[in-house]
Amino acid sequence: MAHMEGKYTNEKNENLDEYFKGLGVPYIPRKLICSSRPTMEISKNNDEWTISTSTMFRTSSSKFKFGEEYEETMPGGTIKNVTQMEGDNKLITNSVGPGEVRSSRKYEFIGDECVITYTSDQSPQVAKRYFKRC
């Protein structure tokens, strides 16, 4: 299994603005999201995982166990998630948000990098955020 735990810093993004535009995120919040360079910390305590993300504007943290539903509070409302391990280097979080909007975040760990791929049934775009281990 790839070593996933640690601290990461966002280095670049692909299609992030287009993705959030497809979700209906207003212009100013979308620009703030896209211009931020979040840090992410992933930790594990027994079988409970925590992913914390921090920007200048917001810090969020999610705790979960594989295969169990958990809630996450986002700026647009509360979403229900289930996270699974795929292979030995991927975490897949499938979400259902307000209005039954379905989305997915795939965290792929390769060496000292983590690439998060965002998809949603509400946006025709696929976005990626690239993180490097600190």
Instruction: Note the pLDDT of residue 48.
Output: 97
Check: pTM over 0.85? Answer yes or no: yes
pLDDT band for 121, please (50, 70, 90 cuts): very high
The CATH fold assigned to 6-133 is Lipocalin (2.40.128)
Domain residue ranges of the chain, discontinuous segments joined by +? 6-133
Q: Quick one: three-class SS letters along the chain?
A: CCCCCEEEEEEEEECHHHHHHHCCCCHHHHHHHHHCCCEEEEEEECCEEEEEEECCCCEEEEEECCCCCEEEEECCEEEEEEEEEECCCEEEEEEECHHHCEEEEEEEEECCEEEEEEEECCEEEEEEEEEEEC
14-50: per-residue pLDDT in tens? 999 999 999 888 999 899 999 999 999 999 999 999 9
